[in-house]
Structure formats: structure tokens, C-alpha cells
């Protein structure tokens, strides 16, 4: 459980974990061990063998086979001491499970069940002897080269006990049997990853354990898994961030939507930030910015439409008041620490701008934005007091300046707003989190959308504040990924045209969007049409009688 009162994070202690796997009748099986009840968050959890790195583990370098400290340190990204973690993983695995990754003088796997070797388990466990002493006494060498580096985890900042853990993976010794030590671990199971994840009643699995099982489950056999683990690859540090939400307090992984935002709003890691978006609850994102999300979540709007409030000298500016929902307007007014003096719309789709009129009626604040070229699916009642131009700067005061960036594509009148002091771009629907943007002709234009995306790559950005979802870090990478996705989809359209054309857009739809659930195909048809129109305008496709085909070479 995170400690909200912690002013400084506890030091992270170097640790090592060994994931032991074997081939079973139904696929890869992994060794899981149940932690003893000790009154902490790990009590009763099913984990892989592992524990703290000891000072004596460095002495054991001299009895390691197949791997030296220089090579191990390079793999772990350390200046030195990488082999300490390998030795610790082997030692902890032997202490807790009785499996010993060691070789005898003839190069054969050690007989861990022999009385002379088995007697060392309690001695190692109590810390009185070192693994190097066992190896010297029994004429063994640690099989260090049989362990492959798997991942690197760091405990969230707020937890009272923190570990800097290197995970390794290895094939189980063939002639050895696992036995729980009865002290730190009370029982063990060999299980397929899928069975462990879906067990009833559920197993208590810590976040790194669950994530590792999910990764293992994607491989057919141990050989394929170890080949992947042995191959060169980037090994990013995984540091979950503590958050609260519908499932209580828990670690939030880097791949989860809220992870980047939690690091910004809770840099000390106290765990008070939410990994859920809660409708109409104000979220301070910085001293200048507050977010309030409308209660209109759906397959099209994700968790709901975001409204942003920005502080200025005279009052607060609102971006995208959202749908015509009086309760949401009430929430916006309640969230504003002062008067609302300006209302902006990124575009006029019905989940973003209809509340402009409601909010203006209750505050007297002027509305600014642009009118769409086509009325279909638009807020036709939108009547701005001012029409914004590309490059226009809105000086809100109080060290808060917005620059208008015209970004047609999703809508002909789409605008983004750059908060210059924080390098944060309010993207409306130009960039969405965990979802691709629907391009709906004629107001939506795929070619214009790609041009607008590429234009943003020239901006100095640090954060994206999307119309749906959490704050997004690494804007350039996110935008480049969207462009790449659109071009990949376009290439698929061309391939399908070659194989099925001439064909109607409806006929092409199932093949082009085979990776999209059928219930979303009516929406996908809009973006497919946008791709086809772009290809037509570029002379790469043609349409006759409602049937599309690749354009003949000129």
C-alpha cells in the first residue's frame, strides 16, 4: 500500500528474480511459489523465486561458468556488478525452491537433492554461508550462462519497501525437483501462464508477476521463449506508478493510459492520482490547467469528452465545454476557481461544442472558434463571437498564452491550442488516446489530416492534452505513430483494391478492416471512404458506378 505521508521515497534495494520454465503437455509451465504470511503486501502472493542481492554474491564471480562480470554488466546496462544479480538469482532460487543452476566437474547438472548439497539450503537461507562456499566445497560451478536477462522493474516511489529488481529466465534443470523451503515460501505449483492468470479462485499476483506471465503466454515452447530472451533488444526500466481508482490503490504500468499523467500530477509518487477518468470530477493538471470530463463515455468518445480550464489574469478560459449537458456545465462552473471569461471550441462535433451556448448564457463569456464547411454531424447552432485564425495568439495573462494552430482533417474547422508556457497542445479530436480518429467526408479529409499531423512535428511540444483520455507524453512519437498507422491502412486499401476491385466500398470494408470488430464497421466505412477519396485525388484509384479500382498506369 502506498504511504501518502511519505515525503521522500525509500531507497530501492538491488534484487534478483528467476523465472523458471519447462515444457509441459499443454505448453510452457512456469514455477510459482506462494509467499508466507508476513503482514506486508507480498504476503500470500504467488511469485517467482527471488530476493535481495547480498555482498557475498560478488565473491561468487570466481565460481561462475560461461559468463563474466563485464558481459553480464553490459547486458544489464551497468558499469559493473551485473554478475551479482545473476548469482543472487541462482542463490535465491536454490534457497526457496531447491533448484540449483550449477554444474559439476564433468559439466553435468548438479545433483541438488544429494545430502551434501541439500544441507546447504538452510545455511544459505540464514545468510551464514555464501554460494561460493557451497560451490567450492562440492566442486561446482554456477551455470551463469543458462540465465537470460528478461526485464528490469523498480517499485513505485510511494511504497515503504522498494526493490530494484532484475528478472532472469531459465529452463528448469531436468533431473531436479522443486520443494518450497517452508519459510519464505510455503508451497509451489508448476502452471501454464494462462492457467495462473485465469485461476479460480484467483491467485494473488503482483504486477511484475502478472505482466511476466502475460509475456510468457505468447510463446509456443521454451526454446522459442529463450531464443527471444537471448536476442539483443532494448531493455527499458519498468517503474509502475501508484494510483487509485475503481480497483482501489494499485501500481499503474507504463503501457496504461494514465501512467504518463500520474508522473506529472503526482511526481512524488504518493499515489493520490487516479488511473480512472471520473465524469465531472475536476483534475488539476498543473497550476494553470484543470480538466473536467463530461459524462458521455461511449465507443466513440472513450471515457468522455474532456473540457479544459486555463487560468488567466482576469479569469478562466474554457476549451471544449462538451455536449449539451447542464450537469456538465454545472461541473465546469464548480471546477473554475474564478470567473469564466472566454470559451473556445476545437471543432463543432456534437460532443465538443453544444455546451458553448449553455456556458455562455450562464457566464456572459464570449465564444470563439470556426464554422465547419459542411453541416453534417455538426453542432449547427454554434455561433462564435469571434472567428479564430491560424497563428493567432491569445494572451490569457498570468503567464498563460495560447497559440491557435489550424488542423483540418478530422473536421474542416478543427483547431488545436498550444499552451506555450507548458508546451502542451490541446488537441481536440486531432489526436486521441488509445483510438484512431474517424475521418468522415465530406467535412473530414484524409489528405488534410495527414498534412496537419506532419505540421505538428515541427512544433516544440512536451505534452498532448487530448479531447478524450489522459495527458499524453512524447508527442512526436505519438504523432509519428498515427501517421504510420494511417499510411499502413492506406497501403492495405491499395492491396485490397488490387485483389478485389472493382468493388464497392462496402465490399472492400471487411478486408481492409478485418482487424476491427464488425460492430465498428459502419464507423470504419467513413474512414475507408476518406482513404479512397485521397487515393482518387492523387490519381492512384478511380471510381465508376460506385465501384472502386486501382487507377490504370498513365
What's the 3-state SS for 306-332?
EEEEEECCCCEEEECCCCCCHHHHHHH
Q: Which residue has the cell 488537441?
A: 427
Domains 12-238 and 483-550 agree in fold: no
DSSP state string for 50-115:
EEEPPTHHHHGGGGB-S--HHHHHHHHT-SS-HHHHHHHHHHHHHHHH----EE-TTSPBP-TTSH
CATH class of the domain at 483-550: mainly alpha
Q: Which residue has the cell 509502475?
A: 240
Collect all residues with Cβ–Cβ distance below 8 Å to 472 and sequence separation of at least 6. Answer: 260, 431, 433, 463, 464, 465, 466, 478
Tell me if 481 sits within 8 A of 437, measured CB to CB.
no
Instruction: List residues bridging with 237 in a β-sheet.
Output: 152
Largest CA distance in the chain: 88
Collect all residues with Cβ–Cβ distance below 8 Å to 364 and sequence separation of at least 6. Answer: none
If residue 464 lies in a helix (H) or strand (E), which one and from where to where?
strand 463-466
Q: What is the pLDDT along the chain (554 residues), one digit of tens a residue?
A: 444 444 577 899 999 999 999 999 999 999 999 999 877 777 899 999 999 999 999 999 999 999 999 999 999 999 999 999 999 999 999 999 999 999 999 999 999 889 888 888 888 866 668 899 999 999 999 999 999 999 999 999 888 889 999 999 999 999 899 999 888 899 999 999 999 999 999 999 999 999 999 999 999 999 999 999 999 988 889 999 999 999 999 899 998 999 999 999 999 888 999 999 999 999 999 999 999 999 999 988 999 999 999 999 999 999 999 999 999 999 999 999 999 999 999 999 999 999 999 999 999 999 999 999 999 899 999 999 999 999 999 999 979 999 999 999 999 999 999 999 999 999 999 999 988 899 999 999 999 999 999 999 999 999 999 999 999 999 999 999 999 999 999 999 999 999 998 999 999 999 999 999 999 999 999 999 999 999 999 999 999 999 999 997 76
Collect all residues with Cβ–Cβ distance below 8 Å to 519 and sequence separation of at least 6. Answer: 299
Residue 372, CB-side half-sphere exposure with 13 Å CA sphere:
27
Instruction: List residues bridging with 35 in a β-sheet.
Output: 185
Domain residue ranges in the chain? 12-238, 240-276, 277-473, 483-550
Residue 84, CB-side half-sphere exposure with 13 Å CA sphere:
17
- CATH code for the domain defined by 277-473: 3.60.15.10
Spatial distance between the Cα atoms of 446 and 493, rounded to a whole number of angstroms: 13
pLDDT tens column, 1-41 = 444 444 577 899 999 999 999 999 999 999 999 999 877 77
Domain 12-238 coded CATH 3.20.20.450: no
Cα dist. 155→141, 148, 241 in Å? 32, 22, 8
Amino acid at each position: 500500500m502506498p504511504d501518502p505521508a511519505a515525503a521522500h521515497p525509500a531507497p530501492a534495494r538491488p534484487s534478483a528474480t528467476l523465472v523458471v520454465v519447462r515444457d509441459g503437455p499443454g505448453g510452457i509451465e512456469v514455477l510459482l511459489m506462494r509467499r508466507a504470511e508476513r503482514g506486508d503486501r507480498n504476503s500470500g502472493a504467488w511469485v517467482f523465486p527471488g530476493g535481495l542481492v547480498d555482498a557475498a554474491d560478488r565473491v561468487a564471480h570466481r565460481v561462475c561458468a560461461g559468463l563474466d562480470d563485464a558481459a553480464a554488466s553490459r547486458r544489464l546496462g551497468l558499469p559493473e556488478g551485473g554478475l551479482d544479480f545473476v548469482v543472487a538469482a541462482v542463490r535465491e532460487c536454490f534457497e526457496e525452491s531447491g533448484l540449483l543452476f550449477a554444474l559439476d566437474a564433468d559439466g553435468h547438472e548438479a545433483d541438488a537433492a544429494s545430502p551434501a548439497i541439500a544441507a546447504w539450503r538452510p545455511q544459505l537461507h540464514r545468510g551464514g554461508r555464501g554460494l561460493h562456499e557451497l560451490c567450492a566445497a562440492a566442486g561446482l560451478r554456477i551455470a551463469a550462462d543458462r540465465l537470460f536477462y528478461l526485464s528490469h522493474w523498480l517499485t513505485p516511489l510511494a511504497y515503504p519497501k522498494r526493490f530494484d529488481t532484475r528478472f532472469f529466465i531459465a529452463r528448469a534443470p531436468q533431473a531436479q525437483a522443486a520443494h518450497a523451503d517452508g519459510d519464505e515460501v510455503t508451497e509451489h505449483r508448476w502452471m501454464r501462464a494462462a492457467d495462473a492468470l485465469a485461476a479460480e479462485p484467483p491467485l494473488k499476483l503482483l504486477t511484475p508477476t502478472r505482466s511476466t506471465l502475460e509475456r510468457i503466454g505468447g510463446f509456443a515452447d521454451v526454446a522459442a521463449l529463450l531464443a527471444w530472451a537471448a536476442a539483443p533488444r532494448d531493455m527499458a526500466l519498468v517503474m509502475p506508478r501508484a494510483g487509485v481508482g475503481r480497483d482501489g490503490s494499485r501500481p499503474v504500468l507504463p503501457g496504461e493510459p494514465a501512467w504518463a499523467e500520474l508522473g506529472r500530477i503526482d511526481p512524488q509518487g504518493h499515489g493520490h492520482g487516479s488511473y480512472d477518468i471520473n465524469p465531472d470530477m475536476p483534475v488539476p493538471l498543473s497550476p494553470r490547467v484543470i480538466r473536467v470530463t463530461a459524462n458521455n463515455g461511449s465507443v466513440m468518445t472513450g471515457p468522455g469528452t474532456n473540457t479544459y480550464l486555463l487560468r488567466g489574469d482576469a479569469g478562466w478560459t474554457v476549451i471544449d465545454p462538451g455536449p449539451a449537458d447542464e450537469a456538465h456545465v454545472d461541473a465546469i462552473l464548480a471546477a473554475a476557481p474564478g470567473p469564466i471569461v472566454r470559451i473556445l471550441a476545437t471543432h463543432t462535433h456534437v460532443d465538443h461544442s453544444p455546451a458553448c451556448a449553455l456556458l455562455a448564457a450562464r457566464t456572459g463569456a464570449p465564444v470563439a472558434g470556426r464554422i465547419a464547411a459542411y453541416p453534417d454531424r455538426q453542432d449547427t447552432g454554434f455561433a462564435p463571437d469571434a472567428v479564430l485564425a491560424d497563428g493567432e495568439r491569445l494572451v490569457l495573462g498570468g503567464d498563460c498564452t495560447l497559440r491557435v494552430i489550424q488542423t483540418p482533417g478530422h473536421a474542416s474547422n478543427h483547431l488545436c491550442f498550444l499552451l506555450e508556457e507548458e508546451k502542451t497542445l490541446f488537441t481536440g479530436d486531432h489526436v486521441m488516446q488509445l483510438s484512431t480518429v474517424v475521418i468522415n467526408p465530406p467535412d473530414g479529409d484524409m489528405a488534410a489530416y495527414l498534412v496537419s499531423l506532419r505540421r505538428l512535428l515541427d512544433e516544440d511540444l512536451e505534452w498532448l492534452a487530448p479531447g478524450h483520455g489522459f495527458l499524453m507524453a512524447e508527442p512526436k512519437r505519438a504523432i509519428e505513430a498515427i501517421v504510420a498507422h494511417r499510411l499502413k491502412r492506406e497501403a492495405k486499401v491499395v492491396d485490397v483494391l488490387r485483389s478485389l476491385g472493382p468493388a464497392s466500398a462496402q465490399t472492400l470494408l471487411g478486408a481492409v478492416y478485418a482487424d476491427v470488430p464488425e460492430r465498428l464497421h459502419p464507423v470504419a466505412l467513413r474512414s475507408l471512404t476518406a482513404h479512397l477519396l485521397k487515393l482518387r485525388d492523387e490519381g492512384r484509384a478511380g471510381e465508376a458506378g460506385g465501384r472502386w479500382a486501382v487507377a490504370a498506369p498513365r
